[in-house]
């Protein structure tokens, strides 16, 4: 279960922040949640693979690593949710 915790936190971060950014840019709420989860997973995985993200900014420790996973997912979900919000704005 331990290797899946960062992925779950990435998805939750994207689920929380993705719809907020999507609604702020005028998009629909339901599609922002789905895009937030997908964007959270993709953003968290990509940031970890590239060695960038919040892990390098926060101190070591289990709680800080979990917080960094949540924030990395939130950034990815916010980006994808924002793009989807701009795309669905006119519909």
Report the alpha-carbon distance of residue 27 to residue 43 in Å, rounded.
20
Q: Give, as one character, the DSSP assignment of residue 1.
A: -
Which mean pLDDT values do the consecutive 10-residue runs of the chain (91 residues) have?
A: 89 89 74 84 88 78 87 88 78 60
Q: What is the pLDDT of residue 23?
A: 78
Question: Which residues, 6 or more positions from 67, have their beta carbon under 8 angstroms from its beta carbon?
Answer: 54, 58
Q: What pLDDT does 90 receive?
A: 63
Instruction: Say what the pLDDT of residue 9 is.
Output: 92
């Amino acid at each position: 279960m331990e290797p899946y915790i960062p992925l779950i936190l990435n998805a939750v971060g994207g689920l929380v922040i993705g719809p907020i950014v999507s609604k702020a840019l005028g998009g629909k709420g339901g599609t922002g949640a789905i895009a937030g989860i997908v964007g959270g997973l993709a953003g968290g995985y990509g940031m970890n693979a590239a060695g960038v993200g919040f892990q390098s900014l926060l101190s070591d420790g289990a709680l800080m690593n979990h917080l960094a996973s949540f924030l990395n997912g939130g950034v990815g979900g916010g980006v994808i949710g924002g793009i989807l919000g701009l795309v669905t704005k006119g519909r």
